[in-house]
Amino acid sequence: MEFEQLESDILTPDMTENEPILLPSLMASTQTNLPYQVMERYHDSKYWGWTERIRGHQDRLTQEKFILEIECKDEEIVRYFGSSQPASYDVLLHYLPASKKLHQNPVLLVHGAAHHANLSWCESLHQEKGLLYSLLSSGRDVFAVSFAHSHGDNWQQAIQLSNIIRRIKEVVQTDKIDLIAHSKGGVPAWIYLAGLCSPWDAQYQGEVERYMMLGTPNRGLDFPFRHIFPNWSVIQMGISAPIACDSILYYGRYIDTTKRSIYRDGGAFPGSCQLLYRWDDKYPVQMQSKTLYYGGQNIFLHSRGIDAAIREGDHLMEKLLSSPIDSQIEVHILAGNQPYFNGIRGEQDAESDGLVFVDSVLFTDGIAPSPNQVKRKDVLPLNHLELLYHPDAHQWVLDGFSLSYSNLVNEPV
């Protein structure tokens, strides 16, 4: 794989392509008032040209809690972080340049919950190819982020996203990037693009030209509290997802599920309660789920209810719905309406991708209310994960870039 080397890319005689590269010139970045420090660069990725571990210096970056079920399992990601429970002030930046660059703006990919860059954008657990390869074939330089905590606090991830974007501007000497986010990844992106972070933490500086959203919950979600049976599945299968109750009847006895719960005293899913928003006014909750949704004790479980979890998330979605992103950003939105995962139905109370209501994904009054800012709102027969891997979703992304370029060249002078 060949690409133009920056000065900091050049190996010294005692280094090999398979060793981490310490970057002393960049490790002094705090002396140039940058809010981050490039700690190491690796050239031995299965997918990327290089990966950097970047350390943020913002005070708000505090350590988040891990439990076994949410530890990263990808050997490469663990090695680059140096731990399966990384420090929350660290983040990974992955880069793969196009062999023949045809477009100016590099693309930054932002993954969702329980994922990292390799899983979201390179290859699924079933060896399905990710969006990375379609973007490369279109002649685009591709960057991606891997957050230290895949269920992490969205404010902290917004700060790390700002560090990543500033580093991309350094690497490729560009003023503009295009951004693509999947699922939860759209929430830290929204926080950053709306300028909600403190100026000394992560001030938005107009870097994003177009923003494509894949299954992002633009009016939140209530799936964890809407259905009882997924809670048992999470326990039995060890799924990297929160439980919406703090005790549950499991094989004939009640077990305490607090440490795996969405609530703050569980602590391992700080970003999940921030995504919550009530949809019961439009889509009534089924009778068997009312205790879970509204709180209380029944024969199966004890729940504190969705309102308690929303309060612990500091009503983030409500704040975002009154905080539009920069009006100069071009917006494209893709929803899925196939609710089945390997034959098992997910969200079933309304049209959804199995996790997020179509109505939530396509809701733009909060994020992009400016006239003509939203270029596309489309729905494809895909589930939440197929939005990452299916060729039709990849083509939708490429079509959006072509549309944007066509509009640009046909603009009157």
All residues at 6 or more sequence positions from 311 whose CB lies less than 8 Å from its CB, including other chains: none
DSSP character for 104?
S
Q: Which two tokens stand for residue 318?
A: 């409500």
Residue 406, classed as helix, strand or coil, is helix
Q: CA nearest 271: which of 238, 303, 312?
A: 312
- β-partners of residue 182 are 214
Q: Strand 374-380 to strand 330-336: parallel, antiparallel, or no bridges (unpaired)?
A: parallel
Return the sign of the alpha-carbon dihedral for residues 274, 279, 280, 281: positive
pLDDT of residue 102: 78
The answer to whether residues 109 and 145 touch, using CB atoms and an 8 Å cutoff, is: yes
pLDDT per residue as tens, the chain (413 positions) = 333 333 333 233 233 444 455 554 344 443 457 899 999 999 999 999 999 999 999 999 999 999 999 999 999 999 999 999 999 999 999 999 998 877 779 999 999 999 999 999 999 999 999 999 999 999 999 999 999 999 999 999 999 999 999 999 999 999 999 999 999 999 999 999 999 998 777 889 999 999 999 999 999 999 999 999 999 999 999 999 999 999 999 999 999 999 999 999 999 999 999 999 999 999 999 999 999 999 999 999 999 999 999 999 999 999 999 999 999 999 999 999 999 999 999 999 999 999 999 999 999 999 999 889 999 999 999 999 999 999 999 999 999 998 754 454 343 33
Q: Which two tokens stand for residue 200?
A: 């000394």
In the block, tokens 């964890």 appear at 224
Q: CA nearest 105: which of 168, 164, 51?
A: 168
Q: What angle do CA 291, 297, 68 make, to 5 degrees?
A: 90
The answer to whether residues 47 and 118 touch, using CB atoms and an 8 Å cutoff, is: yes
All residues at 6 or more sequence positions from 397 whose CB lies less than 8 Å from its CB, including other chains: 131, 134, 135, 180, 212, 334
H and E: helices and strands count for the chain: 15, 16
Q: Strand 296-297 to strand 253-256: parallel, antiparallel, or no bridges (unpaired)?
A: unpaired
Q: CA nearest 381: which of 337, 334, 350, 344?
A: 337
Return the sign of the alpha-carbon dihedral for residues 111, 114, 118, 123: negative
Residues in the chain: 413
Q: What angle do CA 287, 291, 292 make, to 5 degrees?
A: 105
Q: Which two tokens stand for residue 347?
A: 């969200």
> Distance of CA 130 to CAs 124, 249, 285, 389, Å?
7, 39, 35, 5
pLDDT of residue 199: 77
- pLDDT one-digit tens code per residue, 372-383: 999 999 999 999
Task: Please tell me the distance from the alpha carbon of residue 385 to that of residue 327, in angstroms, as a whole number.
Answer: 29
